Structure 1
Amino acid sequence: MGAENDSENDPAMTILPIDPVANATPEALRGFLATCRTAAQRDGHAKLVSISIAVDALDPLAVLESIFEPDEPHFYAERVSLDTAIAGAEAVVATDAHGPERFAAAQRFIDETLAHTIAVGEVEAAFGGPHFFAAFAFENELAPGEPFPAARVFVPRWQVARAGSGTTAVANLLVTPDAPLELLAEKVWRAHGKFRTFEYAAPEPPTQTADARATLKVTDQGDYPAAVAQAIARIAAGEFSKIVLARTRTVQASEPLHPLQMLNQLRQRFPECHAFSIANGRGQSFIGATPERLARVSRGALETEALAGSAPRGASATEDARLGAELLRSDKDRREQRLVLDSIQRRLTPLGFALEFPAEPILKKLANVQHLLTPVRAVLPPHVRLLDVLAQLHPTPAVGGSPRAAAIAGIRQLEGFSRGLYAGAIGWINARGGGEFFVGLRSALVDGCTARLFAGAGIVAGSAPEKERAETELKFRAMQEALKL
C-alpha cells in the first residue's frame, strides 16, 4: 500500500479553501452545509461533501473494531511493514455492476460522483479526501444469492487512515437539495469530535473460547488431486498452458467468529502482506492477507508484479536458502512465473505502457512460503486510469491461467464451487485517481460460526497432483494457524 497516490487523468472535484479546524464551530459547519445545499439546489443534484482533518495517531483497525457493526458494510486494508492502513465504514453512495464492462461502469460511477463532490480540509494529505473502496469478484458474472456482487464500489460515511506517524480522518455525507441541515451538522460535529479524541471501546472477551476451538469441525470439498490430474491431461492435449485450481476448506465453530479479531491475527502473522477485510453489511466478511499486488498508481506511475511459483520456507537458514535456490532453478516454476510476466506485457503494451522490469525474477519470502517475483513499473500514459489497467490485467495467469478464456472455463468445470471474491481484485481509488488493488488470496469468507478458506496452486506441464495438494495444504495450514482455527 502507498500513502500518497495521484494522477492527472481523473476529473477534479470541487475543493473549497475552508479550514474545518480553524472554523470548528457548529455555526460554521451549518453555514458550510447550507452553501453545499444551495449548490445541490442550483444543480438539481445531490452533493457528496467530504471533510478531512488531521487527528492524533490512531490504529485504523482498532477504530473499526471499536465501532464494528455486522449490519454495516466496511473496508479495511493494511500493509504493516509499510506502516500504512485505511479503514472505512457505512456507505454514503454505492454502486454494483456485473458483466465484461463492470470496470468501466465503476469508473463512470466514480467520475459522476466526483463531478458532484465538494471537499474541504486536509484533502491533499496522505489518504485525505473521499476514497472509493472496491471489490471485483474473480468472474464477471455471479449467480444470485452470492454474498458479494460481481463488482461493488462505495464511498464510506467515515474513514480513518494512517501513513507513518500521520492520521487523517474523513467524514463523507450526501447533501440533497432538501437536506435537513441541523441533523447533518450534528452528525458531522459528533463524528469529528469523536475522532479528534478517540477512545477505544473496552475489549470484549474473545469470541471463540477454548471450548469452542475444541469443537471445530473441518470439512474439505471435492477430490483435489483428481482435478489436478484432469487439468494436466488437458494441458497435454493443448487446451491451455496453465490453469490455477483452488480448493476450499470449511471450518465450523460452536460460537460466532469475529472477522476483525481474526484479521488482527493475520496482520500480525503476515506483516509483508496486504491484510484486508470487506463486509457486505449482511453479516458476511471476506478477509485475508495476500502477498500479491495487482496494480498501484502513484505520482503518475504504475506498479504491478508477476508473482508465481511456490516453495516452503526452511526450518534453518541453510534449508531456507536451499529451498529458495531450488525454486529459482525450477524449470516448472520459472515457466509458470514467466507466463504471468508475458501476460502483463501483452495486455498493457497496447495501452501505451513502456514496461520496465529486471531480467531475472527474485524471491519474495513470506512467513510460510516463498515465491518468484518480478516487479514491473511504467509511466502512466495520458488518459489511462487505474481501472483501465485492472480491466486488462484481471485475472492474471497467477490466479486464472493461460490462455485466459480457456483456463477460466476449465476452472468452472474442475473446481466445483464459486470463487466469489477469492482471487478477485480488491482495493481503493482516491479522488486524484491514485490507488492500489491487490488479489484476494490467502483468504476466508467468514459467516457467523463458519469460515470458508480458499487455497490454490498453478498447474502447468510437469505438475504433480500430490505436490500441488501439498502446496495448498501448506497455505491452508498457515491460514488456520494464523486464524487460530
Structure 2
Amino acid sequence: MKTPPVNPTGSATPEALRGFLAQCAAEARSVGRPQLVSISMAVDNLDPLAVLESIFEPGEPHFYAERPAAGFGVAGAEVAVEFNAAGADRFAAARAFIDRTLADTIAVGPLAEPFAGPHFFFAAGFADDAPAGGAFPALRVQVPRWQVARRGDGTIAVANVLLPGDAPVDLVTAKIWRAHGKFGAFDYSRAKQKARPSAPQRAEEIGGAEAYPMAVRQALAEIARGDYQKVVLARALRYTTAEEFHPMGVLNHLRQRYPECYSFSIANGRGQSFIGASPERLVRVAGGRMHTAALAGSAPRGETASEDAAWAQALLQSEKDLREHRLVLDSIVGRLAGLDLKLEHAAQPRLLGLANVHHLHTPISASLPAGVDILDLVARLHPTPAVGGAPQAPALAALQRLEAFPRGLYAGPQGWVDHQGGGEFFVGIRSALIDGRTATAYAGAGIVAGSEPEKEFAETDLKFNALIGALTQS
C-alpha cells in the first residue's frame, strides 16, 4: 500500500483534493491498473448506526457491527471493490485478493488510528459452497465506498474510491468533497425512524415439526456407536409479520438489549439482510496477538438473583456441559497446532452471563508469529465445534444429512481485515435472514452423549424466543 506524505483533507480545499486525485489517476495510468484511493479523517464523535440510519438505502449493500461493552462500532455501505469466492480455499483466495488490492492502494490520513484506512468486510457462509438462489455467496469481501467507525472516544470516517487512469477527476473530487463536509458536521435529520414490526402472525418450522427431535435421536444413535463425539444441530423458523422488517429498527434494539454481543447487519443490496446479536468471537488479531475463545454449554437466566445463581452453579457443575465445553476447547487447540502458537488459557471455564442465557466460556490468546495471517486462523477455526461438531469431518457430514435446510450465513464467520493484517471475526449465531415481512431465524444446540431431545428442543426454543423478541415487538 502506498502512503504518500500528503493530507488532502488537512488543507481543506477542493483544489488540494483535486490535485491529489489527479496524482492518483496519473499513478493508475503509469502502472496500467486502477488504484483504490482511501482517504481517512478524524471527525467529531459520530454514532456509526445513526450514520447508517441517515444514509440507509435498501438497494445498497452494507456491513454494520457494534459491541457496546467493548467500546466499538463500525458501519460501511456501497461498494468500492468487491470479491466473491467459493470452495475449500475461499479464505486463501480472499487473502490473495486483499494482497492484490493493497498493492494498488493509495491511502492517506491518520492511518495509525483504529479503523483508519481501507477495511475488507466479510460475509462468509457456514459452508464452502452456497446453494443456488441463496441470498449471499459462499464468501463475499467488499471495501465500502464510505465507512464510519468509533473505538472509545475516537471516530474515523473513510472514503474509498476505485480510480482508473481515465477517471473523471472533477466529478470524483466533488463527490468526495461533499462526503468530507457531510461527515465533518453530520446532519442526522434525514434518518427515518422505523419501529420493529408487531408480533409474528405465524411461525413455520422449516422441515416440519418432528424434524428436529428425529434428527437429535438419530445423532445420539450415531454418537453411541462412535461415529463422532458431538454435532451441533440447528433449527430454522420462518416468521411472518403484518409489517415489513427494517434493519435499523431491529439494530437499535439489539445493541441496547445485548451490549456484550456483536450486534450486526449484513445487507446484500437486494432487500435482504442477515441480522443478529452474536456472543461468540471467532478470532481477533491486534497488536501482534490473536484472541479467540471456547464457548459451549448453556443454561437459562433466572427470574430472581437466587434462581439465576442456581442456574449458573448448575451449569458450572454440569458433567454434560463441561464435557461439551472441553470438546470445543480441545478442538480449537488441535486446529491451531502447527502454527507455532503458544496458547494461553485458564484451566477451567468461566461463566459468561448474557441477557437471556449463561454460557461456559474460556478465552484463549497467543502472540502471533511472523507469516501467520488472520485468515489462516479463520480458515483453521471455522467451523468451531460450538457450531459444527467434533471430530470435524464426520460431524459436518452428519449435519448435512440431518438438517433440513442450508445454513447460508448462519454460524459462518463475519468480520473484517484491515490494511495492517489485523481484524476481527465473530460467528453469525443468534441470527435471522430478514426479507420483507418474513424473518428466517436460526438456533442450534450441541448434541453429545447424554443429551435429551426434549431438553435440546427447549434450549433452541429459548434462543428463538429471545431472537424474535428482539426482531419484533412481541
Q: Could you tell me the TM-score, scaled by structure 1's length?
A: 0.95
Deviation at 1:156, TM superposition (A): 0.2
CA-to-partner distance for each residue in 1:68-91, whole Å, 9 max, x for gaps? 111111000100112210000001
Offset, 1:201: 3.0
Map of 1:378 onto structure 2:
366
Residue 99 of structure 1 is aligned with which of 84, 87, 94? Answer: 87
Q: Does the aligned pair in 2 maintain the 1:283–1:448 contact within 8 Å?
A: yes
Whether the 8 Å contact between 2:200 and 2:239 is mirrored in structure 1 is no
Match of 2:389 among 394, 401, 404: 401
1:276-312 deviation line (CA, Å, top 9, x unaligned): 1100111110011000000000000000000000000
Q: How far off is 1:215 after superposition?
A: 6.3
1:164 aligned to which of 142, 152, 159: 152
Task: Give the corresponding residue for 1:296.
Answer: 284
Q: Secondary structure at the match of 1:161?
A: strand
Tell me the alpha carbon deviations over residues 145-198 of structure 1, each in whole angstroms, 9 at most, x when there is no partner. 100010010000000001111110000001101111011101100111100011
CA distance in 1, matches of 2:339, 2:200: 53
- For 1:192 and 1:456, locate their aligned partners in 2 and report how far apart those are by CA, in whole Å: 44
Q: 2:428 aligns with which of 436, 440, 459?
A: 440
Who is 1:246 aligned against? 234
**Structure-2 residue corresponding to 1:123:** 111
Q: Deviations over 1:45-86 (max 9, x none)?
A: 110000001111111001101111111110001001122100
Contact 2:62 2:78 in 1 (8 A): yes
Give per-residue Cα distances to partners, 1:457-485, cap 9 Å, x unaligned. 00000000000011001101111112225
Tell me the secondary structure at the aligned position of residue 389 of structure 1: helix
- Alignment of 1:449 onto 2:437: yes
- Give the stretch that moved more between structures: 13-22 or 349-358: 13-22
Confirm whether residue 154 of structure 1 aligns to residue 139 of structure 2: no
Q: Following TM superposition, where does structure 1 have runs of at least 4 consecutive aligned residues deviating by more than 4 angstroms? A: none
Q: Which residue number corresponds to residue 331 of structure 2?
A: 343
Find the partner of 2:41 among 46, 53, 61: 53
1:268-417, aligned counterparts within 5 Å?
A: 268-417=256-405
Corresponding residue SS for 2:450: coil
Q: Deviations over 1:344-402 (max 9, x none)?
A: 11111211111110100010000000110110000101100000001111001000001
Residue type at the aligned position of 1:328? L
Partner SS for 1:91: coil
Alignment check: 8 A CA contact 1:95 1:109 kept: yes
> Per-residue deviation at 1:411?
1.0
3-state SS in 1 of match to 2:337? helix
5+ residue gaps, structure 2, are: none
Task: Say which of 19, 25, 47 aligns to 1:31.
Answer: 19
Partner residue, 2:129:
141
Distance (Å, rounded) in 2 between the aligned partners of 1:441 and 1:215: 21
Residue 176 in structure 1 maps to residue 164 in structure 2: yes
1:203-251 Cα deviation digits (max 9, x unpaired): 5353556xxx266222222321121111111111111100000001111
Secondary structure of the structure 1 residue equivalent to 2:33? coil
User: What is residue 219 of structure 1 aligned with on the other side?
Assistant: 204
Query: How far apart are 1:202 and its partner, in Å?
Result: 4.3
Taking structure 2 as the reference length, the TM-score comes to: 0.97
User: How big is the shift at 1:122?
Assistant: 1.6
For 2:38, what is the secondary structure of its paired residue?
strand
- How far off its partner does 1:19 sit? 2.2
C-alpha contact (below 8 Å) 2:194/2:248 kept by paired residues: no
- Indicate the larger mover: 461-470 or 316-325: 316-325
Would the aligned equivalents of 2:373 and 2:421 in 1 still touch at CA under 8 Å?
Answer: yes
Q: Does 1:17 find its partner at 2:5?
A: yes
How many angstroms apart in 2 are the aligned matches of 1:121 and 1:165? 18
User: In the alignment, which residue of structure 2 is the partner of 1:264?
Assistant: 252
> For residues 191 and 122 of structure 2, what CA distance do their matches in structure 1 show?
29
Q: Which amino acid aligns with 2:367?
A: V
The one-letter code matched in structure 1 to 2:231 is I
In 2, the alpha carbon distance for the partners of 1:214 and 1:320 equals 27
Among 398, 405, 419, the residue aligned to 1:431: 419
Q: Which moved more, 1:226-235 or 1:454-463?
A: 226-235
Distance (whole Å) between structure 2 residues aligned to residue 29 and residue 284 of structure 1: 36
SS at match of 1:201: helix
Q: Which of 382, 386, 410 in structure 2 is aligned with 1:422?
A: 410
- Per the TM alignment, residue 44 of structure 1 is displaced from its structure 2 partner at its CA by 0.5
CA contact (8 A) 2:196 2:249 kept: no
SS of aligned partner of 1:14? coil
Q: 2:336 is paired with a residue of what secondary structure?
A: helix
Q: What amino acid is aligned across from residue 254 of structure 1 in structure 2?
A: A
Mapped contact 1:207–1:255 kept (Cα < 8 A): no
Q: Tell me what 2:72 maps to.
A: 84
- Paired AA for residue 317 in structure 1: A
Does the CA contact (< 8 Å) of 2:196 and 2:250 recur in 1?
no
| 1:43 Cα deviation after fit | 0.4
Distance 1:214 1:50, change over 3 A: closer
C-alpha displacement at 1:321, in angstroms?
A: 1.3
The 8 Å contact of residues 132 and 155 in structure 1, kept in 2 or not, is answered as yes
The equivalent of 1:4 in structure 2 is none
1:220 maps to a residue whose letter is E
